[in-house]
């Protein structure tokens, strides 16, 4: 038995709004029990930026920001969430998330066709909101070749049946079975027989060369499905976790039976794992954390909430977009990240929003958006967004994506994505020649602002803040910006300069543009830009 003590803070919690959102009902109940007052609701600018990043994987456009902040409709947040979910940006962003978890790797030039097709299949499934149970069934039981069934690509990457069982159990069930391969830990549930019984579901996966070089046809081999426990010597038939051994016909694909069990409404792991994974995406930590380690000795912080979300997800028909709506429409998700005097140290009760560094792809795209730059990746059209990249190959060719933690897609664990803040990242932002070139290009944001002579300095600074932060600058920020521009644009007195120094004086155009380049650079290096808050 695992015991977690809760010590109430005892502060007054009498200003919580009533809500029919199941997230708020459970979170607020616990906050009342703890006597832990939540932070106030986030303002519209913060909400817009947060939701657009979390759902669509990008910064809001200038037009989106201006329209949303001017909108007086009390339902505008709900409408914005719906708008983001129907956009192709949502599918692009979450396809990248799932492609990393499902190890969409390209280990040779011949693999490009398959990895691109697999990514496209994931993206289309998300865009059309294919029910999650159907999505997983198509993935787990995939047979054929990439041209007619792209998810077979996973079996090209993950060839070993032990890796297959471990990945499927961890990704879709939240069960890490790796240790059970060798021993039965006294404090954990799963034994070696459980491990090899689960491996038996993948024991009949056959492969033969496909029509294209480097591709394979995946098929079900005729025969008895089993996996041998090396300790007991027994050949174990397929057995669901916590279930009974299955006796299947020799022509039957055991993966179909696995998919039947996994997607059954009564499965104790399947829906809970998915809602926990998505909760982690939007809040920075899972109700069970790590999100894919849902063992008995790692209990949830809010068990009733986890069960309620899972039940609602099943009842919705495994509606992924519906789950996102439930989470993002909650007051809990929309709370400010600014702490009050009581919740500064709260990291697991969701009394405030926890700021998170932007993922590598969103940060790179965000820098390009603010500077008006277009990124070039090998074999991709000019200007493709980093969140649209299909596989691991592009992490290898981009120092930025690598240093900011885009995963190499070597494992099924989301922990492969680094979300820390380190010195290498700071030095790159400060000193990168690539970023400097984006700032100083002839078609860069600074040059465009200066060319538009109808704009005042105030309106230009305001545009930059709205692009970077989705808000207008405050009076003091505007004052500081104007002061800096005026100081930098004042040419040096020629009489005080040497002949050599006179030759190095910037042109009038550069004198007008460089202060804006500096201002944009400064905004890109702020915590407000680098973090989702």
Digit-coded pLDDT (tens) for 237-272: 999 999 999 999 999 999 999 999 999 999 999 999
Query: With helix as H, strand as E and coil as C, how does 65-107 read?
Result: HHHHHHCCCCCHHHHHHHHHHHCHHHHHHHHHHHHHHCCCCCC
Residue 116 covered by a domain: no
Q: Are residues 413 and 459 part of one domain?
A: yes
Residue 14 covered by a domain: no
Q: Where are the beta strands (DSSP E) in 296-433?
A: 356-357
Give 488 or 315, the one with higher predicted confidence. Answer: 315
**For the residues 427-456, what does the mean pLDDT come to?**
94
Q: How confident is the model at residue 1 (pLDDT cuts 50, 70, 90)?
A: very low
Q: Are residues 334 and 223 part of one domain?
A: no
Q: Residue 212's pLDDT is what? A: 82
Answer with the one of 354, 377, 404 that is the final residue of a domain.
354
Q: Residue 110's pLDDT is what? A: 76
Structure token pair of residue 338:
């600014």
Lowest mean pLDDT among 344-353, 387-396, 472-481: 387-396
Enclosing domain of residue 408:
360-532
The total number of structural domains that make up the chain: 3
Q: Are residues 233 and 158 part of one domain?
A: yes
Orientation of helix 22-34 relative to helix 303-315, angle to 10°: 170
Does residue 504 carry a pLDDT above 80? no
Q: Residue 11's pLDDT is what? A: 74
Q: Residue 4's pLDDT is what? A: 55
Q: Are residues 176 and 78 part of one domain?
A: no
Q: Are residues 348 and 365 part of one domain?
A: no
**For the residues 71-98, what does the mean pLDDT come to?**
98
Residue 114 covered by a domain: no
Q: Are residues 171 and 224 part of one domain?
A: yes
Q: Are residues 135 and 235 part of one domain?
A: yes
- Indicate the pairing of strand 216-220 with strand 205-209: antiparallel
**For the residues 479-501, what does the mean pLDDT come to?**
78
Residues 267-294: pLDDT tens digits?
999 999 999 999 999 999 999 999 999 9
Residues 301-355: pLDDT tens digits?
999 999 999 999 999 999 999 999 999 999 999 999 999 999 999 989 999 999 9
Percent of the chain residues past pLDDT 90, beyond the cut? 76
Q: Residue 508's pLDDT is what? A: 67
Q: How confident is the model at residue 16 (pLDDT cuts 50, 70, 90)?
A: confident
Answer with the one of 305, 321, 354 that is the final residue of a domain.
354
Q: Are residues 231 and 372 part of one domain?
A: no
Residue 121 covered by a domain: no
- Indicate the pairing of strand 235-236 with strand 227-228: antiparallel
Specify the pTM. Answer: 0.93
Q: Are residues 235 and 135 part of one domain?
A: yes
Average pLDDT, the chain: 92
Sign of the Cα torsion 491, 496, 500, 502 reads positive
Distance, CA of 51 to CA of 53 (rounded, Å): 5
Q: Residue 383's pLDDT is what? A: 86
Answer with the one of 332, 354, 376 that is the final residue of a domain.
354
Q: Are residues 341 and 316 part of one domain?
A: yes
Residue 340 covered by a domain: yes
Lowest mean pLDDT among 90-104, 348-362, 388-402, 439-453: 388-402
**For the residues 56-62, what does the mean pLDDT come to?**
98
**For the residues 38-57, what does the mean pLDDT come to?**
98
Give 254 or 156, the one with higher predicted confidence. Answer: 254
Q: Are residues 227 and 148 part of one domain?
A: yes
Residue 62 covered by a domain: yes
Q: Are residues 373 and 518 part of one domain?
A: yes
| Residue 526 CB neighbours (<10 A) | 11
Residue 9 covered by a domain: no
């Amino acid at each position: 038995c695992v015991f977690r003590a809760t010590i109430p803070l005892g502060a007054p919690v009498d200003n919580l709004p009533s809500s029919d959102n199941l997230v708020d009902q459970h979170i607020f109940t616990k906050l009342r029990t703890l006597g832990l007052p939540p932070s106030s609701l986030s303002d519209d600018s913060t909400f817009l930026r947060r939701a657009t990043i979390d759902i669509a994987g990008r910064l809001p456009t200038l037009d989106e920001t201006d329209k949303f902040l001017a909108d007086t409709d009390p339902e505008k947040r709900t409408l914005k969430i719906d708008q983001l979910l129907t956009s192709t940006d949502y599918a692009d962003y979450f396809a990248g998330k799932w492609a990393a978890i499902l190890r969409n790797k390209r280990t040779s030039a011949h693999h490009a066709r398959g990895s691109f097709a697999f990514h496209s299949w994931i993206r289309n499934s998300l865009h059309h909101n294919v029910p999650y149970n159907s999505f997983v069934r198509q993935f787990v039981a995939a047979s054929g070749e990439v041209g007619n069934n792209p998810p077979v690509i996973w079996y090209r990457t993950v060839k070993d049946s032990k890796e297959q069982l471990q990945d499927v159990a961890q990704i879709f069930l939240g069960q890490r079975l790796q240790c059970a391969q060798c021993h039965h830990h006294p404090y954990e549930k799963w034994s070696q027989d459980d491990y090899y019984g689960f491996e038996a579901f993948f024991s009949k996966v056959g492969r033969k060369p496909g029509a294209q070089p480097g591709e394979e046809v995946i098929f079900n081999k005729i025969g008895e499905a089993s996996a041998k426990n090396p300790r007991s010597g027994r050949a174990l038939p397929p057995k669901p976790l916590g279930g009974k051994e299955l006796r299947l016909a020799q022509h039957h694909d055991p993966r179909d039976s696995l998919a039947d069990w996994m997607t059954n409404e009564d499965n104790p792991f399947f829906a809970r794992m998915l809602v926990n994974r998505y909760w982690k995406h939007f809040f920075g930590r899972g109700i069970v954390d790590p999100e894919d380690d849902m063992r008995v000795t790692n209990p949830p912080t809010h068990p009733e909430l986890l069960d309620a979300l899972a039940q609602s997800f099943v009842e919705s028909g495994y509606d992924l977009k519906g789950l996102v709506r439930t989470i993002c429409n909650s007051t809990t998700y929309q709370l400010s990240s600014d702490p009050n005097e009581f919740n500064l140290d709260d990291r697991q009760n969701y009394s405030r929003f926890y700021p998170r560094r932007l993922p590598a792809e969103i940060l790179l795209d965000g820098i390009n958006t603010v500077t008006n730059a277009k990124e070039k990746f090998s074999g991709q059209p000019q200007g493709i967004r980093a969140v649209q990249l299909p596989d691991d190959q592009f992490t290898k060719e981009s120092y930025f994506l690598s240093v900011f933690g885009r995963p190499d897609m070597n494992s099924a664990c989301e922990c492969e994505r680094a979300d820390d803040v380190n010195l290498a990242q700071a030095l790159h932002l400060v000193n990168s020649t690539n970023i400097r070139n984006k700032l100083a290009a002839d078609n860069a944001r600074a040059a465009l602002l200066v060319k538009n002579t109808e704009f005042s300095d105030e309106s230009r600074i305001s545009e930059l803040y709205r692009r970077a932060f989705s808000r207008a600058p405050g009076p003091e920020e505007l004052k500081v910006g104007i002061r800096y521009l005026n100081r930098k644009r004042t040419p040096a007195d020629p009489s005080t300069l040497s002949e050599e120094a006179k030759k190095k004086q910037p042109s009038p155009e550069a004198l007008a543009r460089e202060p804006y380049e500096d201002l944009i650079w400064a905004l890109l290096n702020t915590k407000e830009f680098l973090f989702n808050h």
